[in-house]
């Protein structure tokens, strides 16, 4: 569909910019709306992601220049850009909304990175689209900063994620609870196809569009399925496998997405849409930070079951492609969805065992699972910090009680840890592995640094209230390399003091 006309951005001088490709925009017109960004009055560059620029094979000097900044602001587009807003629906907190779509994000096109991978380039906060409903199509600086930080932190943790190519200020205010400085984030993703994209067409009874989208998803992200005898069932299983592994990895670092609506589940297997997300401080499986999650639907410990719930909605969309007989299609869908648990359980429980230094010798995984589950229960009861407990445990030596002191000090009742540590030492004694090797394995799985909520808020406050980006640079320096020790920045490992605790995080809309 074609949107109503609005002020079009001017063309840039883009001789150094690789031409955009448009494989998604080559799909039928009901998949998107053609819409240019709305120019902003006084854009200026806040930050470029130099590492990602190099990965994409782009010209950093051009991006930092007048034409590059104008492109990142949506004021001037390269001649090869074809700006579109993608159509999708979604279940939001369990309630189906038939038409959501990109209400403030505009896809400029795709580039092929240095590894030969196709990547979307999208402007988030670029103005109203036909899917904006009552929204203003803009983004405030605070949420843009949060998404930039969280994306780089997740990338540093080795977890699949969208990332920010850069941020520009718009020179105008946006209005949320109060006026806030506006900004635009340039988001890079493997793609922006969501569970909700399939829901958009399935709920309209457009079976041809569902098949077209499934074929496109296979071609772009699962090409190994192209010659499958049952490509759509295998596609569902492959997506379920990636999601199971992804959510397991979230849990292993204490990440809470905060708004796991079906329109926020990317079928590429990347983490997408950093709204009211957060990393836990003290371990609590019922932890919720999102200001809009009033009943804990997306609490930390609920994320695995919600992942499967979301995939079930995808399965419902694919049923007509799985078999003409409805009951046979449901049987095939259930079989395909089994891949989720088969991926999640070994990734999560195996990851937990590894985080406490256990080697899988195949003898008694059940007892090992009980040992780590017991630790988590004690951590929850005694308010132990999730990140620090595992990292400090990696630094400990079972034969040296003093090396355990930093871990036990994190429990409100250190004796609770002591009782567990006796069993842990006995278990490690059965492993023929030097302490140094075990510690190296554990440290590679347990980060020293996460973007703690109070630190992210400090960055947002400094930038929005004083225009000071120095705290952003300091935080990015540690969270982009989270498994390394940063002796001069150990303060970033500290949990929040009582007056620093962030109880709620917020969406940017």
Catalytic residues: 263
66 within 8 A of 169, measured Cβ to Cβ: no
Distance between CA atoms of residues 284 and 351, nearest Å: 18
Coil, strand or helix at 226: coil
Whether 482 contacts 447, CB under 8 Å:
yes
Going 30 to 36 to 38 to 44, the CA torsion angle's sign is: positive
Residue 279, beta-bridge partner list: 255
**Is residue 403 within 8 Å of residue 396, measured between CB atoms?**
yes
DSSP 446-485: S-S----HHHHHHHHHHHHHH---HHHHHHHHHHTSTTS-
End-to-end Cα, the chain, rounded Å:
25
What count of other Cβ atoms lies within 10 Å of the Cβ of residue 473? 10
The two structure tokens encoding residue 462: 């400094």
Q: How far is CA 424 from CA 28, 354, 396, in A?
A: 58, 13, 12
What DSSP designation does 449 have? -
Quickly list H helices, 119-230: 141-156, 195-202, 207-221
Dihedrals phi, psi of 492, to nearest 5 degrees: -75, -10
What's the maximum distance between 2 C-alpha atoms anywhere in the chain? 72
Nearest 10 degrees: CA dihedral of 105, 106, 112, 114?
Answer: -40
Cβ-contact 149, 476 below 8 angstroms: yes
What residue has token string 């505009």? 106
Whether the CB-CB separation of 260 and 246 falls below 8 Å is answered with no
Centre a 10 Å sphere on the Cβ of residue 139 and count the other Cβ atoms it contains: 25
How many Å apart are CA 28 and CA 349, to the nearest integer?
43
Positive or negative, the CA dihedral 319, 220, 257, 509 is: negative
């Amino acid at each position: 569909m074609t949107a109503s006309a609005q002020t079009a951005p001017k063309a840039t001088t883009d001789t150094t910019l690789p031409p955009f490709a448009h494989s998604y925009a080559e799909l039928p017109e009901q998949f998107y709306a053609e819409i240019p960004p709305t120019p902003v009055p006084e854009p200026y560059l806040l930050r470029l992601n130099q590492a990602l620029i190099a990965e994409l094979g782009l010209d950093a000097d051009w991006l930092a220049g007048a034409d590059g900044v104008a492109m990142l602001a949506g004021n001037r587009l390269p001649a090869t850009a074809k700006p579109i807003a993608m159509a999708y629906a979604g279940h939001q907190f369990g309630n189906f909304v038939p038409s959501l779509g990109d209400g403030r994000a505009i896809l400029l096109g795709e580039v092929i990175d240095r590894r030969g991978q196709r990547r979307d380039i999208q402007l988030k906060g670029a103005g109203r689209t036909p899917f904006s409903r009552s929204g203003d199509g803009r983004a405030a600086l605070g949420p843009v900063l949060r998404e930039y930080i969280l994306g780089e932190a997740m990338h540093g943790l080795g977890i699949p994620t969208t990332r920010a190519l850069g941020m520009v200020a718009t020179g105008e205010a946006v209005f949320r609870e109060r006026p806030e400085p506006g900004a635009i984030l340039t988001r890079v993703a493997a793609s922006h196809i969501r569970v909700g994209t399939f829901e958009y067409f399935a709920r309209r009874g457009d079976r041809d569009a569902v098949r077209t989208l499934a074929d496109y998803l296979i071609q772009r992200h699962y090409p190994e399925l192209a010659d499958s005898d049952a490509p759509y069932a295998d596609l569902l299983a492959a997506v379920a496998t990636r999601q199971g592994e992804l959510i397991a990895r979230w849990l292993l670092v204490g990440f809470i997405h905060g708004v796991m609506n079906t329109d926020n589940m990317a079928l590429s297997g990347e983490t997408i849409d950093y709204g009211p997300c957060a990393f836990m401080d003290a371990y609590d499986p019922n932890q919720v930070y999102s200001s809009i999650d009033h009943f804990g639907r997306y609490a930390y410990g609920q994320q695995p079951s919600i992942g499967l719930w979301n995939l079930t909605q995808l399965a419902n969309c694919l049923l007509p492609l799985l078999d003409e007989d409805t009951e046979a299609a449901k049987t095939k869908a259930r079989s395909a969805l089994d891949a989720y648990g088969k991926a999640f359980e070994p990734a999560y429980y195996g990851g937990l065992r590894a985080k406490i230094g256990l080697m899988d010798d195949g003898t008694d995984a059940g007892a090992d699972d009980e040992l780590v589950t017991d630790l988590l229960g004690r951590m929850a009861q005694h308010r132990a910090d999730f990140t620090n407990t595992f990292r400090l445990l990696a630094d400990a030596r079972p034969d040296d009680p003093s090396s355990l002191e930093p871990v036990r000090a994190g429990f409100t009742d250190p004796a609770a840890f002591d009782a567990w540590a006796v069993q842990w030492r006995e278990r490690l004694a059965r492993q023929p592995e030097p302490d140094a090797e075990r510690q190296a394995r554990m440290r590679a799985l347990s980060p020293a640094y996460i973007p703690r909520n109070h630190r992210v808020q400090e960055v947002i406050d400094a930038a929005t209230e004083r225009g000071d980006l120095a705290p952003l640079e300091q935080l990015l320096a540690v969270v982009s390399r989270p498994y390394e020790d940063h002796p001069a920045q150990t303060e970033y490992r500290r949990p929040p003091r009582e007056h620093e605790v962030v109880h709620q995080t917020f969406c940017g809309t």
